[in-house]
């Protein structure tokens, strides 16, 4: 699979594609196009993401973060976070460890 060929999602949606899952590790390609804030997360797993394409604004534990291509972020489990907005071409790689 080539993650660069994944189509942009409709406005105000995110699409998740599991690329690999094994022994408590999950790797996902995430396509986002959020004009308005998305779901608030507090997950039962550690998450590391890198924004491969586009831009994004997140709120992580009441702090606003502006991410651009190449920026990465580690979110320990139960860290409250929300994607506030993204460019229409936002492409993430997420690694989850439970």
Of the pLDDT bands very low, low, confident and very high (cuts 50, 70, 90), residue 9 is: very high
Residue 2 lies in a domain: no
Task: With respect to residue 71, please indicate whether it lies within any of the assigned structural domains.
Answer: yes
The residue segments making up the domain with residue 47 are 13-97
Residue 5 included in any domain: no
In a domain, 4, yes or no: no
Structural domain includes residue 8: no
Q: Which two tokens stand for residue 21?
A: 């899952």
Q: What's 48's domain CATH number?
A: 2.60.120.10
Tell me if the pTM is above 0.75: yes
* Contact partners, residue 51, CB within 8 Å, separation at least 6: 67, 68, 69, 70, 71, 72, 90, 91, 92
Q: Would you give the DSSP letter of residue 7?
A: P
Evaluate whether residue 61 is within a structural domain. yes
* Digit-coded pLDDT (tens) for 15-30: 999 999 999 999 999 9
Write the pLDDT tens digit of every residue in 33-70. Answer: 999 999 999 999 999 999 999 999 999 999 999 999 99
- Structural domain includes residue 30: yes
Does residue 1 lie in a domain region? Answer: no
Mean pLDDT of 7-11: 92
- The number of domains in the chain is 1
Q: For position 61, what pLDDT does the model report? A: 95
């Amino acid at each position: 699979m080539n993650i660069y060929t994944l189509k942009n999602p409709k406005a105000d949606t995110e699409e998740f594609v599991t690329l690999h899952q094994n022994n408590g590790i999950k790797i996902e390609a995430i396509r986002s196009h959020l004009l308005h804030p998305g779901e608030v997360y507090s997950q039962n797993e550690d998450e590391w993401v890198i924004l491969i394409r586009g831009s994004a604004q997140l709120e992580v534990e009441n702090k606003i973060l502006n991410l651009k291509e190449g920026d990465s972020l580690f979110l320990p489990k139960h860290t409250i976070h929300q994607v506030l907005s993204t460019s229409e071409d936002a492409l993430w790689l997420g690694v989850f460890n439970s």
